[in-house]
Structure 1
Amino acid sequence: MTTPDPRRWLILPVILSATFMASFDFNVVNVAAPSLQEDLHAGQAALELVIGGYAFAYAAGLVTGGRLGDIFGYRNMFLIGMGTFTLASLLCGIAQTPGQLVVARLLQGITAAAMAPQGISLIQAVFDQSERPKALSWLGVMYGLGGVAGQVLGGLLIAGDLFGWAWRPIFLVNVPVGVIALVFAARLLPRGRAEKRPKLDPVGVVGISLALGLALAPLIIGRTEGWPLWAWISLVASVPVMALTLVYEGGLSRKGGQPLLDLSLFRSRTFSVGLVINVAFMATFSSFMFSTTLLLQSGLGLSAREAGLAFGPFAVLSMLSSIYGRPFIAKYKNKALAFGSGVVGLGMLALALETQSLGADLSIGYVMGPLCLVGLGFGFVLPSLIGTVLAGVRPHQMGIASGVLTTTQQFSGATGIAALGAVYFTTLGSGHGLTDYAHASRSVLWITFGLCAVLVALFALLPRLTADRTAPQGAGAADRPAAKSAA
């Protein structure tokens, strides 16, 4: 076990800045959607690509980004990723057409995938085993806070119309933040890389990225294009492409090679069940935020600033429950996480019932109560998801595991928006009144409420966690984390 870096608590905010920025830019375009439509004349397909394209590129590149960190060093990849992400944000901010913005958003997602996976590996390097759960929980806090800030701060920036730039400041704000983060990262982040320098596995990179792309592209734009033949072919083709890639990865591992995706990770029940929990949770979170934003702005007629401020109590409660819920989770473990998921579900159920009973009489006052309840539950659960999944991972697998985890989170978030967004817009049809938007929101809320019920059941399947760390009690050596020896 190595001695913890004495600057580790100064390093942590630098790491968290990447997590916050990646999450912020995933969510901020939700509240900017009406402004984008008006200023750039973006159609529904382009709008969904601006929103979902970032998530697709981010999800498709995360596993590769994690492996590149193992090869070239986590510090180097963090600096490269942060620098190129800042540049991509500038390109988003100066885009003049929907096509330019879509391309810039794809680049933004790819560069975010280069910087974000390094965070978990850097935490493993600079913190000792007793401190890692706390540091990892802050990653979860920043992920959730970045998502909520995308709604709140994004709304304020758009409403402020700084310099007459309309929606552009939501991307341009990343430029000074990114420059500052680069300066501190260059000064503070430790040098080094994994003890055993792995190979890249280009077949795995192409196969996994292609399978994800084939699955997500039709989900994003298939409905707006009327579900043409190519969309169905793409969706179906993603299954054999992924299956063949996994067969290749398994064969490469048996031959003593270094596959991009280490299938032995899934032998841990903690890791496998934890990934399923993340799929359900992130799909719920992303689709709820997307549909609720549309309800507030298009249904209730709130401005971007008013909609952003409406998420203010959500943000505060989410932050407070993220910070002060740790002792409760440490004491009651999986039961506490199941309880938090139940609180989220109750908030969604309450809002679904309100949209059904009130219809055209729905007002912001009625929405705020359920929204606060959802924020309280989300903040309670989200910070613990990372540590829960990684509890069963060996140290030498941490880079790949973090890439798989973050890929799963982002892809499920994008899929949630695409799939439940299709449900939303299909239910909405040609309607434009509050009753129509309430009905469309209700269709999504019932589905997300069902996902919350699944979450409560899934937490019961996880091995029982110890009170002082995220490793499962009674796990074998393969399921216990240990200190990582190099950055």
Structure 2
Amino acid sequence: MSSARETAAEPVADARRWMALAVLLTATLLDLLDATIINIAIPSIQRDIHASYTAVQWIAAGYTLAFAIGLVTGGRLGDIFGRKKVFLLAMAGFTLASALSGLATGPDMLIISRVLQGGMAAMMVPQVLSIIHVTFAPEESGKVFGMFGAVCGIGAVSGPVLGALLTEWNLFGLEWRPIFLVNLPIGIAGLILGHRFVRESKAPSAPRLDLAGVTLVTLALFMLLFPLTRGRDLGWPAWCPASMAGSVVVFALFVLHQRAKVRQDASPLLELSLFRIRSFAAGIVVQLAFGTSFGLFSLTGALYMQVGLGWTPLRAALTSLLFGATMAGVAMVAVPKLVPRFGRKVLQAGALLMIVGLGLYGWIAHQQGTGVTPAQIALPLVVGGCGLGMIMAPLTSAVLSEVPGQHAGSASGLINTINQVGLSLGLGLTSVAFFTVVDDAGTPAPTGGTAFITAFTHSLWWVIGGMALAFLLMFALPKAAGAQFAPPAEEDAGAPAADAGTSSSDGAPAARAEATPAANAPTPTAG
């Protein structure tokens, strides 16, 4: 069989592969921690460097947006130039960006550093699964991906708690900065060990990099998100709606360019034929609505707990852990036990539970005001966590269930990209759904109080609306939502090498998503 595995030496004989796996899992943990650790420290960062609310949004969204835009490109770069080479370069860049974030003297420097961090993560993460694919034999995959899934779960759930501890400990008087600086010794060790133990590999016939496509989609996303975050501060000038409308035109140009690429050299950035599959097209919109809802929920919830209620970062993080821990526990039951029997009904029941949990959360927040306690919101957090656990892992399988095996890599990579875009969009919508209410109350930052509670309950209606939309769109998913797609190697033993190479790179985010539900979603620090 022709596949990317042929580009590396026989994996079974090399005992050093387990050290290589440790390096790869460490890189995965770094990415997940930095994606989830930031929200809990946002109020401390805001006070220390005098960041505006717009800057706060960009500090949180810069990472996810750069990560989303760079994911597919990152996978391509590894196929073309060598996965080990790109992995080590990205880890070095990620470590440098972490140092710059920890040493930031103002909001602008921190935003730029976070964008750089996200871009480096987008180059680093796709290589992890690709290198694992060419390093380990198929019979070892169960053990390897079990370890991978465990690391993903630990990273996603523990990020907010670790961020809270590092912030409250105020190590060496650095306040929030250790949440980034802790990456330095880990990154340096990873570079040294990765250089020694990770083996180089390339795709036998990698697709070309579509620079024009990357440029168009980046421009379109920027034209959509920048006005959302800056518009409120500037009084919503005319160029804001014009830019957002123009983003639709640029997205249309991107689609036309992708069609031309298919005719020209069959190496598009996006496989448009996938959108002819009803379940995939609907599932992508579900993923976008889902990611947007939680991007909004994660930031507003952190501000509600710490600024509105005056809780310490640790108290907020431990309360939020109810949500993430419940999600992880239910997911382990939902995938193997419930989905095979009830199919998409499990996802829809999860969406309804999310709506109930969020609605109850908002009602309690409104009724109790600033006197709310962790015990009072424990029930809605557990209910919402159950709903999330019933959605996350089955959703990826449902979206991919009718995708042909030869396109599984591109499809799964797109799912993760759309999720990250949704997170960024949700963080951008914070201006409209949350901060506008704070402004109307005339509350200066960072005094908080009742204005932040009102703003949070208002933003929850937006989140509930997103979940209701996701629920309705789930009717377009296959009834047997647990069906799995067939990998190219199983579907066609003679699949061309180019397909195998594409699958290993673009498929990396998919394995990241399917290995554990926590890896494919933010762990909201709000609950």
TM-score normalised to structure 1 length: 0.87
Other-structure match for 1:350: 360
Which 10-residue stretch deviates more, 89-98 or 217-226? 217-226
Other-structure match for 2:438: 428
Q: Deviations over 1:381-412 (max 9, x none)?
A: 32344444444445554554344222211111
Closer, same or farther in 2 for the Cα pair 1:254/1:24, shift >3 Å? Answer: same
**Counterpart among 471, 479, 487 of residue 485 in structure 2:** 471
Amino acid paired to 1:458: L
* 1:336 maps onto 2:350 in alignment: no
Amino acid paired to 1:424: F
Aligned partners of 2:340 and 2:480 also within 8 Å: no
In the TM superposition, what are the counterparts of 1:151-230 in structure 2 within 5 Å? 151-183=160-192, 185-186=194-195, 189=198, 191-230=200-239
Which 10-residue stretch deviates more, 54-63 or 411-420? 54-63
| Residue 167 (structure 1) shift | 0.7
Amino acid paired to 1:441: F
Cα distance in 2 for partners of 1:10, 1:369 equals 42
Other-structure match for 1:404: 414
Number of aligned residue pairs = 481
* 1:285 maps onto 2:299 in alignment: no
| Residue 126 (structure 1) shift | 5.9
Q: Deviations over 1:110-135 (max 9, x none)?
A: 11111123345456556788997997
Closer, same or farther in 2 for the Cα pair 1:101/1:242, shift >3 Å? Answer: same
Other-structure match for 1:382: 392
Closer, same or farther in 2 for the Cα pair 1:185/1:328, shift >3 Å? Answer: farther
Aligned partners of 1:141 and 1:322 also within 8 Å: no
Closer, same or farther in 2 for the Cα pair 1:323/1:176, shift >3 Å? Answer: farther
Other-structure match for 1:300: 309
Aligned partners of 1:300 and 1:363 also within 8 Å: no
Cα distance in 2 for partners of 1:301, 1:207 equals 43
In the TM superposition, what are the counterparts of 1:37-436 in structure 2 within 5 Å? 37-122=46-131, 146-183=155-192, 185-186=194-195, 189=198, 191-332=200-341, 333-394=343-404, 397-429=407-439, 430-431=442-443, 434-436=449-451
Aligned partners of 1:70 and 1:399 also within 8 Å: no
Other-structure match for 1:453: 468
Cα distance in 2 for partners of 1:307, 1:296 equals 6
SS in 1 for 2:376: helix
Gaps of 5+ in 1: none
SS in 2 for 1:166: coil
SS in 2 for 1:224: helix
Cα distance in 1 for partners of 2:144, 2:465 equals 31
SS in 2 for 1:207: helix
Cα distance in 2 for partners of 1:385, 1:135 equals 23
| Residue 161 (structure 1) shift | 0.4
Q: Deviations over 1:448-467 (max 9, x none)?
A: 22322333333332224476
Cα distance in 1 for partners of 2:200, 2:250 equals 37
Other-structure match for 1:27: 36
Cα distance in 2 for partners of 1:250, 1:278 equals 24
Cα distance in 1 for partners of 2:276, 2:133 equals 22
TM-score normalised to structure 2 length: 0.81
| Residue 485 (structure 1) shift | 4.7
Closer, same or farther in 2 for the Cα pair 1:213/1:367, shift >3 Å? Answer: same
Amino acid paired to 1:97: G
The percent of aligned pairs where both chains have the same amino acid is 36
Other-structure match for 2:517: none
Q: How well do the aligned residues superpose, as a CA RMSD in angstroms?
A: 3.3
Gaps of 5+ in 2: 505-527
